[in-house]
């Protein structure tokens, strides 16, 4: 019995290749973030929040949208980060009913140390692409943009 697929071999399936590469990349990221006691999603939300709050108050909805994370999971992760005093929820400056989400000083210090490790991990992981890295990044941006639409 064989698999009824349009591909002659498994390494022709972009979905399977993406799955395999993503799993390897996530394992490398987990190892890079272990010394900081951050999961990858905690890092992504903390880094995204640090970036977004440069432009003003950030809502949980805006954070989840920018990070492309599930809103319920975002809420749970933020509670964990809040428990570690890495984020806090001050009153929103323009909406008295809402609360903003903000990085604490200790959160900013941690994420700025962690981003160095993450970027070093990325550089090592994607080194095999050599001069093809910008084209690969552009292709990922195209796919990410198409998925948001």
The verdict on residue 4 lying in a domain is no
Domain membership flag for residue 36: yes
Q: pLDDT tens, 28-79?
A: 999 999 999 999 999 999 999 999 999 999 999 999 999 999 999 999 999 9
Domain assignment of residue 29, given as a range? 15-148
Q: CB neighbours of 11 closer than 8 A, spacing ≥ 6?
A: 17
> Is 39 a member of any domain?
yes
Residue 6 lies inside a defined structural domain of this protein: no
Q: Are 85 and 106 in contact (CB under 8 A)?
A: yes
Count of the separate structural domains present in the chain: 1
The answer to whether position 99 is within a domain reads yes
5 in a structural domain: no
Cβ neighbour number for residue 84 with a 10 Å cutoff: 14
Give the separation between CA 114 and CA 41, rounded to whole angstroms.
13
CATH number at residue 21: 1.10.10.10
pLDDT score recorded for residue 95: 83
Instruction: Answer whether residue 149 shows pLDDT above 50.
Output: no
Q: What pLDDT was estimated at residue 41?
A: 98
Average confidence (pLDDT) over 107-118 = 98
pLDDT at 1 over 70: no
């Amino acid at each position: 019995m064989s698999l009824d697929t349009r591909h002659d071999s498994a390494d022709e399936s972009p979905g399977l290749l993406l799955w395999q590469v993503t799993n390897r990349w996530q394992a490398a990221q987990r190892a890079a973030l272990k010394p900081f006691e951050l999961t990858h999603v905690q890092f992504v939300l903390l880094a995204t929040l640090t970036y977004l709050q440069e432009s003003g108050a950030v809502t949980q909805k805006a954070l989840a949208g920018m990070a492309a994370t599930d809103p319920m999971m975002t809420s749970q992760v933020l509670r964990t980060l809040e428990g570690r005093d890495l984020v806090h929820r001050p009153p929103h400056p323009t909406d008295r009913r809402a609360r903003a989400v903000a990085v604490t000083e200790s959160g900013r210090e941690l994420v700025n140390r962690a981003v160095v490790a993450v970027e070093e991990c990325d550089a090592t992981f994607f080194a095999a692409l050599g001069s093809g890295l910008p084209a690969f990044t552009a292709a990922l941006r195209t796919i990410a943009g198409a998925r948001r639409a």
